[in-house]
Structure 1
Amino acid sequence: MNSVPDPQDRAPEPGASHDPVPDPRPDLIVVPARYGSTRLPGKPLARIAGRTLLERVVAIARAAADLAGNCGFVVATDDARIAAHAQALGAPVAMTLADLDSGSARAYAAALQCPVPPAHVINLQGDAPFIPPAIVAGLLAELRASGADVATPVYPLDWARLDRLREHKRTAPFSGTTCVRDAAGRALWFSKTILPALRGEGALRAAGPMSPVWQHLGLYGYRLEALAWFAQALPGHYETLEGLEQLRFLEAGRSIATLAVTMPGHALSGIDTREDLAAAEAAIARLGDPFVA
């Protein structure tokens, strides 16, 4: 993990409670955008239905910032080609080090360049072109109201979607993440395994159309102090086993609020390959283009 400076505000100890007192500092949506993807080099500049991936995500960030209020956005990159394209789109740019090892670390590095440190930071991955702006703005509202360290969206699976997820995991066991939540919506755990195990599933299916399984939508918002802690902390044991960075927070006793959302119609886990680009174009052809003008 790369060493990065501490923010101006001291991070609280793990597990500390946070008063949801309104913070006057502006919030920030960061779009991390690397050129050097191993499976799809130059990914942010790849086109989906005539628009670059970066153009689509920048439009989401801009619309979400407007919805949230008191919020800015920035593209964080280490590549001059991506920076030039972002600037042509009218997006602010933060140049970050090439060897940062995650989107969250790049988001933190971008936040440190703000004249006023943001209260909260959204990590809107540059390969997520179909996230509705309202979900991004909703994460900021959740962070402002709850005082949680992290907020992330989840959506309930009906039985048909749960069956499809189970079938998908036969060939791609590490694709798709589920979440177990408490009654207040705080995350208890995330896993690449489908949780919870369902005893008496037949009776559950007969009781209604929705399963008790929640699937995670890979989008995160952080209090700046919590993001600073994450950028400095070593990966956790279960984080390493599952390959899920949000477990670093839970293993350290930090809080993750989950925001219940409706599953986006164009839901894709991310754009990582040329096959994913084709799937995204097929979704647009089938469902229409959700691009935010």
Structure 2
Amino acid sequence: MVSVPDLIVVPARFGSSRLPGKPLLPIAGRTLLDRVVAIARAAAVQAGNCDVLVATDDARIADHAASLGVEVAMTAAELDSGTVRAFAAARQRESAPARVINLQGDAPFIPAAIVAGLMATLRKGGADVATPVFQLDWARLDRLRAHKQTAPFSGTTCVRASDRRALWFSKSILPAMRNEAQLREQPMSPVWQHLGLYGYTMRALEWFAGAAPGVYEALEGLEQLRFIENGWRVDTVEVDVPAHLLSGIDTPEDLAKADEAITRFGDPYPV
């Protein structure tokens, strides 16, 4: 008997105050959505027994997704996050998947192996949520600190237990370090940065969609804290720093940076 396939959902909205219609905008000759779908498809092949669909509230995006040959789920315009949109799309399937990866539609440089790695972690059991983190060397930590002088809510750090369970996420740089000079004798800092990508069990995703935001979630602006505040297990998956390290495409400047990254590092998913 073949089990119900797991699912990678690409939430894609047309509306964006800073960059309207961004899933349809080109990066080095291919639309943003086309690039993210390519990642999802490659990850689904690596994971095995996994389907891909685009979740949207806009007919233009649905039409483009259909032209790419990917399954589409129409979801309500009023849904307030990609996570809830991913849940709404998963619920439309004839048989609900046991696990869902939420691959945001504005993340064109996430390596497919990372997406597949989250699915592998969830399939091992024990974790309700899985998300990737990477350790910062001192040079990257110094750059993050400098960037936060002008953009304090950019970049999220993670504090982890020895079993890789996430203890906390913050827009502050955690942990604080009393003896940093000594620590700098080692090549890597003790700071882990979060890469904004999540996998969920369907049970955890359903709970999240119906739960009120947590106190610290609202303060930090980090929805993953809703799980931690309510006792769900969030496991971190250690990954290498991606060559194309962009947190998302939100502005015309981000589009330009994405084009520049492809010129500099090569196209991760060439046609």
The TM tier, using the shorter chain, reads over 0.9
Between the aligned partners of 2:42 and 2:126, the Cα distance in structure 1 is 24
Deviations 1:222-281 (A, max 9, x none): 000100000000000000000000000000011100000001000101000000000111
Partner amino acid, structure 1, of 2:46: L
Aligned mate of 2:211, from 211, 224, 233: 233
DSSP-derived class of the 2:184 partner: helix
1:125 aligns to 2:104 (yes or no): yes
Between the aligned partners of 1:285 and 1:199, the Cα distance in structure 2 is 41
How many residue pairs were aligned? 270
DSSP-derived class of the 1:280 partner: helix
Shift of residue 25 of structure 1? 3.0
Between the aligned partners of 2:101 and 2:149, the Cα distance in structure 1 is 32
* Structure 1: gaps spanning 5 or more residues: 1-22
Shift of residue 26 of structure 1? 1.6
Shift of residue 291 of structure 1? 1.5
Report the equivalent of 2:143: 164
Partner amino acid, structure 2, of 1:91: V
Deviations 1:182-236 (A, max 9, x none): 0000000000000000110000001x11000000000000000100000000000
DSSP-derived class of the 1:153 partner: strand
DSSP-derived class of the 1:218 partner: coil
DSSP-derived class of the 2:89 partner: helix
Aligned mate of 1:211, from 189, 196, 214: 189
Tell me, yes or no, if the aligned pair for 1:181 and 1:188 is still in contact at 8 Å: yes
Between the aligned partners of 2:124 and 2:17, the Cα distance in structure 1 is 39
Report the equivalent of 1:258: 236
Query: What is the TM-score normalised by the length of structure 1?
Result: 0.91
Query: Which structure carries more relative contact order (alpha carbon 8 Å, separation 6+)?
Result: 1
1:57 aligns to 2:36 (yes or no): yes
Between the aligned partners of 2:32 and 2:262, the Cα distance in structure 1 is 13
- Mapping 1:76-155, distance limit 5 Å: 76-155=55-134
Shift of residue 24 of structure 1? 3.6
Query: What is the TM-score normalised by the length of structure 2?
Result: 0.98
DSSP-derived class of the 2:139 partner: helix
Between the aligned partners of 2:270 and 2:112, the Cα distance in structure 1 is 9
- How much is the aligned-residue C-alpha RMSD, in angstroms? 1.0
Report the equivalent of 1:177: 156
Shift of residue 292 of structure 1? 5.2
Partner amino acid, structure 2, of 1:46: L
DSSP-derived class of the 2:178 partner: coil
The list of structure 1 runs, each at least 4 consecutive aligned residues, that deviate by more than 4 angstroms after superposition, is: none
Between the aligned partners of 2:100 and 2:60, the Cα distance in structure 1 is 25
* Structure 2: gaps spanning 5 or more residues: none
Identity level (%): 71
1:283 aligns to 2:261 (yes or no): yes
